[in-house]
Amino acid sequence: MTVPLSVLDLSPVSMDGGTQAEGVRNTIEVAKAAERLGYKRFWVAEHHSIEHLSSASPEVLIAAMTQVTHRIRLGSGGVMLPNYSPLKVAEVFMQLEALAPGRIDLGLGRALGADAMTGRALGSRSSEVFPQFFSLLSAWLLDSSGVEPFPIESAFAAVKASPRGPSHPDLFLLCSSLDSARFAGMVGVGMVFAEFIARADGAPAVAAYREAFQPSVYRSQPMAGVATIALAADTVEEAERLAAMVPRRPPAPGGEAGERFVRRIRGDGPLVRAYLDAKINHTGADELFVMSAGPSLETRIRSLELIAEKP
């Protein structure tokens, strides 16, 4: 691979009769394996009221993973900001930064991670609040780490996020549209385009992000990642058999045109690595996130082992 590889995990329920509680525990095991295999980051998702996915609270999983890993960066892909108070998110992730200094990524999403009814149960706000919430969250993170003072014009200038410390989480947007990618560029944070959510080719989003990028306190140079689904097995036939066991989402409306770019990448190790290299070259990504696909814990870890193998 010509760029770093990272992992995005959705805490799926195993297809062999597993439970959501087991899905949470399995994610911890996948994170330990990802560190052993040399992946750069391990991110966990936020989803609500979805039977085959287990991770509703990425911050809890990240806290648990700080205690069983030592080098790999840990983060959210992503925390759905309209669901929460920006102050609370800032404090949660500053606390995680205190547990694992220099290893925490805060990946944010503009959506709810849920259907409309579940969103109402969560007390979610419209995605239109995202720019305002992002500004508040960023100011509290930076103020808590002493990078720059809280904006004087804010009505909350006297409010301090805690715990305070010498460093802050790295900030990213998990994007599924060109508008989100441009926003990430304009505010100078990292961008990861979720091809498996958008059902669209990541190359236009990477280009839009780079064009819009403005240096910030978070980074002086753009960092564009692409997240895709990949499943490697010991043989092509085994990969096809395993892929058939994993639930598929219906295509997003209007997303059929991007399907050839985001088809499930599957095969033996060399074939999957070749597919991923082609995706890196096509999108121009600085980092590639693979979603740890597979119907069981063992197949998910084996897939990551084969993808990480040197040719």
Per-residue pLDDT tens digits for 73-126: 999 999 999 999 999 999 999 999 999 999 999 999 998 777 889 889 988 898
- Write the pLDDT tens digit of every residue in 295-306: 999 999 999 999
Asked if 230 and 302 touch (Cβ cutoff 8 Å), the reply is no
CB count in 10 Å sphere of residue 156: 14
pTM for this entry = 0.92
Predicted confidence at residue 249, as pLDDT, reads: 52
Predicted confidence at residue 116, as pLDDT, reads: 87
Q: Could you give the C-alpha distances from 11 to 92, 132, 146, 220, in angstroms and in order?
A: 20, 30, 35, 33
Residue 149, pLDDT above cutoff 70? no
Predicted confidence at residue 50, as pLDDT, reads: 87
Place of tokens 């960092």: 223
Angle at 17 between CA 227 and CA 302, to 5 degrees: 45
- Write the pLDDT tens digit of every residue in 29-74: 999 999 999 999 999 999 888 888 999 999 999 999 999 999 999 9
Helix (H, G, I), strand (E, B) or coil at 76: strand
What does the alpha-carbon distance between residue 35 and residue 28 come to, in Å, rounded to a whole number? 11
